[in-house]
Amino acid sequence: VGGSAARVSRAAPRRVRARRGEGEKLKEQILEAAERLLVVTEDEEAVSIRAVAEAVGVTPPSIYLHFEDKDDLLVAVCERRFAQLDRALEEAGADALDPVGALIERGRAYVRFGLEYPELYRILFLRRVGPRPIRADRTRDVAAFDHHLAAVSAAVESGAMKGDPLLVAVGLWAAVHGITSLLITKPHFEWPELDPLIDHVLHTQIRGLSTPDTEGGTT
Amino acid sequence: VGGSAARVSRAAPRRVRARRGEGEKLKEQILEAAERLLVVTEDEEAVSIRAVAEAVGVTPPSIYLHFEDKDDLLVAVCERRFAQLDRALEEAGADALDPVGALIERGRAYVRFGLEYPELYRILFLRRVGPRPIRADRTRDVAAFDHHLAAVSAAVESGAMKGDPLLVAVGLWAAVHGITSLLITKPHFEWPELDPLIDHVLHTQIRGLSTPDTEGGTT
DNA sequence: TGTACATCAGTGAACGCGCGTTCACTGATGTAC
DNA sequence: TGTACATCAGTGAACGCGCGTTCACTGATGTAC
């Protein structure tokens, strides 16, 4: 089996065909290529079935061996990144000393994620929903929001914050989402310096939600 | 001249050709049709040159008599709405009793605008910027932001609020933009009741920005 | 008052493009006998 | 150990579509003489 390996390098095939039973490898490569295209071009429209196929080194119909249609592929890409965002937030919050500090660290990580993958963020959070509600709605992003809600509840239960946890969670999300999306969609605006701006947004929120006796104690 | 008016109703022409010197009428009709299409379909992609032309009752090439290309048309639509948003905010703030109250009313009006024209809002604030920076950037939306900044400065100067006006203005914008865009792009999410949610976002901001002695006095 | 003519407000047909998707196929590879 | 065969991982060519845009034109209308 090892003796005939010298034949491989002829006529420059872009990709070696997977062996029997290893068809799933292509699925992974397609997902990676689609995501890479999205990150590199920062343009959802550049991610066509044809472009993804070419990036993988395969013909367009091959995509349909693993994905029902184009939307199915994009949703799959989103689900992976939602999962990654969720993990990033959980890890950022885990190192904090107290629940309020955890919220701040989670917020910073959220903005960081958005600025690192702006086009993915656009697809996840700024796109209009299509005719069929995006399937990911019922899976990964709900998990991420549940974790966020849990982090907020912990802060409220610690006594450092007051308010209805759901309202507070949505409000915090709105604040970090607001600054993240503005930074992404309005790059030509003359923004103040980035870190002070993010800190201002987070601390204004926290201060607005703090109970009077603990106020200012977690800056 | 009045005697031959009976001839008009033959063969159902979709639009009467403008008279000499009245060519600008078409420009206005195109703008209105494009905006109406955007509002009705809630889908930017549905607004093609062809669709706009048909809505006006004219052939596609006629659009090019008044607009350089498709982008030029969309930008023109945006500029009109930016101007309208600006006016709506100014009017909302004018009726308030004090500067902080004015900020709250401006915030409510902003969210209302977004929810009333979601697809226009998407184009104004959620789209990625194209290869050429959108020309409206340097005109209408800057005027709107300047007015916002002035409203914030008034609140800071009144002593009810503290902080760098620019940071505060951007932070407030981020908060209202955040909740507006989430409501638009995630309609399937189980949101809390709308008015309490918006009030929560606005009052959390205001409370987070208030000077200690005036805190809670403007709810 | 009559008429040639420049101008204006459009039209009709066509261009090339890239897209998502389908369909019949091919050729390597593992497996059953 | 040899061979027929089912299966698997793809390919090649084509489909129809709607799009933005261009180009040469037409016919009504106001104006100059």
pLDDT average, residue stretch A107-125: 95
pLDDT average, residue stretch B111-126: 94
Q: pLDDT tens across B18-49, in order?
A: 999 899 999 999 999 999 999 999 999 999 99
Angle of helix A194-209 versus helix B194-209 axis, rounded to 10: 110
The yes-or-no verdict on residue A13 having pLDDT over 60 is no
From the Cβ of A194, is strand D under 7 Å away? no
Is the CB of A133 less than 8 angstroms away from the CB of B188?
A: yes
The yes-or-no verdict on residue A31 having pLDDT over 80 is yes
User: Which 173-212 residues of chain B approach strand D with CB closer than 7 Å?
Assistant: none
Q: How confident is the model at residue B128 (pLDDT cuts 50, 70, 90)?
A: confident
Beta bridge partners of A161: A210
Query: Alpha carbon of B25 to those of B16, B59, B159: distances in Å?
Result: 11, 15, 50
Which of B121-137 are b and which e, b meaning 16 or more Cβ less than 10 Å from the residue's Cβ? bbbbbbeeeeeeebebb
Contacts of B118 in chain A (CB under 8 A): 128
Q: pLDDT tens across B92-102, in order?
A: 999 999 999 99
The yes-or-no verdict on residue A83 having pLDDT over 60 is yes
Contact assessment for residue A200 and residue B171, using Cβ atoms and an 8 Å cutoff: yes
Question: Distance between CA atoms of B75 and B72, rounded to whole angstroms?
Answer: 5
Contacts of A119 in chain B (CB under 8 A): 128
Q: Which nucleotide is at minimal CA–C1' distance from B59?
A: C11
Task: Name the closest residue on chain B to residue A145, using Cα atoms.
Answer: B189
From the Cβ of A20, is strand D under 7 Å away? yes
Q: How confident is the model at residue B130 (pLDDT cuts 50, 70, 90)?
A: very low
pTM for this prediction? 0.89
Nucleotides, chain D, CB distance < 7 Å: 7-14, 18-24, 28-30
Query: In sequence order, what are the residues at sequence separation of 6 or more whose Cβ sits closer than 8 angstroms to the Cβ of residue B97?
Result: none
Which pLDDT value is given to residue B214?
60
Question: Distance between CA atoms of A126 and A19, rounded to whole angstroms?
Answer: 40
Q: How confident is the model at residue A48 (pLDDT cuts 50, 70, 90)?
A: very high
Give the residue, A123 or B135, on which the prediction is more confident.
A123
Q: How many CB pairs under 8 A join A and B?
A: 139
Query: Alpha carbon of B82 to those of A91, B51, B77, B87, B139: distances in Å?
Result: 40, 23, 9, 9, 9
Task: Name the closest residue on chain B to residue A181, using Cα atoms.
Answer: B126
Task: Name the closest residue on chain B to residue A203, using Cα atoms.
Answer: B208
Is the CB of A181 less than 8 angstroms away from the CB of B179?
A: no
The yes-or-no verdict on residue B109 having pLDDT over 60 is yes
Question: Distance between CA atoms of B12 and A23, rounded to whole angstroms?
Answer: 60
Which pLDDT value is given to residue B145?
95
Q: Percent of chain B, pLDDT > 90?
A: 75
Q: How confident is the model at residue B13 (pLDDT cuts 50, 70, 90)?
A: very low
